[in-house]
Amino acid sequence: MTQEAREETVLAAIEDRREQVNDAIDEELPMAEPERLYEASRYLLEAGGKRLRPTVSMLVGEALLDVEPLSEDYQAFPSLNDGTVDVMAAAVSIEVIQSFTLIHDDIMDDDDLRRGVPAVHREYDTETAILAGDTLYSKAFEIMLRTDAPPERGLDALRMLACTCTHICEGQAYDVDFETRGDVTIEEYLDMVELKTAVLYAAAASVPGIVLGADQDTIDALYEYGRAIGQAFQIQDDVLDLTVPSEELGKQRGSDLVEGKRTVITLHAREQGVDVDGLVDADNPENVTEAEIDDALDTLQDAGSIQFARELAEDLVQEGKDHLSVLPDNDAHDTLDDLADYLIERGY
């Protein structure tokens, strides 16, 4: 299949599932009192988002059970043994965690925009944003408790969720720490990305395996698929931050450079002797010029750093796809393959 056809398949798969995901989010996280708190909590979730992680969860369910795409009710999904499980609750729980981390990260990074709208701490205030994140945090656990999985598996899913959240915090702490460290290695960066970003993909892929009763090897393989494509996803994000116009990106292009974020690109460039800290003069994303970022991009391209990042992401995607060999051959399996490719081929 061509890249274009693959991308079309993936976008259709996401599109076909998005409405169900959004309905389930509304159902699992309804408006409640106090209104302002719940409005702020739901604000980013309502602002959009591709729902990539829930899509992964739904596809894993279909692939494992070897059922036709969209043929089953995800809220009463046939288990591998007996009874049914609410796979959608697991998918929504992961998306809610994702939203919580975005809200708190934007406060910490003092970012103004997210998904093309003001960050929650800008639209509301920092106090409300902290609290909105905290609310989503516990809601995600409440939602994960509603999968109707047999108790042992339910506990395993909760365990995965809790560990994932701890790892995300650790990853974010490393990310902040790296900004003031000059000696970060690419290996350390990849470990940070695993914690900060990839474990949530790993959870999205493996929790359906857990609640549906897959064996441990399958669960582990699904986890590794999510982990690998999650790392690739972040590296692609790093590339896009430099190469995609601000309007499409929903935030200022080149903000990572301005904020001194370490990325695989700048770490590679530094190894090639590029003066990374001197690439842009601006000290905040508002007063950087497009020309400045273009020049920086040229320098990084000449150093082979963009190419290096792309190849690394490709290797990770291949690694992720290899782990899917535990799944039966079916449409959902193919789409999970395509989705891995899409993560690094996407333009925004």
Using CB under 8 A, list all residues that contact its own copies.
Answer: 32-34, 36-37, 104, 107-108, 126-128, 130-131, 133-135, 137-139, 141-142, 145, 151-152, 154-155, 158-159, 161-166, 169-170, 172-174, 176-177
**316-322: long-range contacts at Cβ-Cβ below 8 A with a sequence spacing of 24 or more?**
316/228, 316/229, 316/231, 316/232, 316/235, 317/228, 317/229, 317/232, 317/341, 317/343, 317/344, 319/224, 319/228, 320/224, 320/225, 320/226, 320/227, 320/228, 320/229, 320/232, 321/225
Give the bridge partners for 114, in sequence order: 117
**What's the closest the beta carbon of residue 132 comes to its own copies, in angstroms?**
8
Quote the radius of gyration of the chain (alpha carbons, Å).
20
Please say which residue, 11 or 37, places its beta carbon nearer to its own copies: 37
| CA atoms of 347 and 242, how far apart (whole Å) | 11
Please say which residue, 1 or 32, places its beta carbon nearer to its own copies: 32
What is the DSSP secondary structure assignment for residue 124, as one 8-state letter? S
**What's the closest the beta carbon of residue 147 comes to its own copies, in angstroms?**
10
**What's the closest the beta carbon of residue 153 comes to its own copies, in angstroms?**
9
Residues across the chain: 348
Please say which residue, 144 or 343, places its beta carbon nearer to its own copies: 144
Query: Residue 150: phi, psi to the nearest 5?
Result: -55, 145
Q: Is 288 exposed, middle or buried (0-12, 13-18, 19+ CB in 10 A)?
A: buried
| CA atoms of 3 and 301, how far apart (whole Å) | 23
Give the CA angle between residues 322, 326, 327 to the nearest 5°: 105
Please say which residue, 26 or 134, places its beta carbon nearer to its own copies: 134
**What's the closest the beta carbon of residue 174 comes to its own copies, in angstroms?**
6
**What's the closest the beta carbon of residue 303 comes to its own copies, in angstroms?**
29
Find, among 154, 164, 146, 153, the residue nearest to 202 by Cα. Answer: 164
Please say which residue, 236 or 255, places its beta carbon nearer to its own copies: 255
Please say which residue, 132 or 327, places its beta carbon nearer to its own copies: 132
**What's the closest the beta carbon of residue 130 comes to its own copies, in angstroms?**
6
**What's the closest the beta carbon of residue 82 comes to its own copies, in angstroms?**
16
Please say which residue, 158 or 306, places its beta carbon nearer to its own copies: 158
Please say which residue, 170 or 314, places its beta carbon nearer to its own copies: 170
- Token duo for residue 90: 């697991």
**What's the closest the beta carbon of residue 164 comes to its own copies, in angstroms?**
8
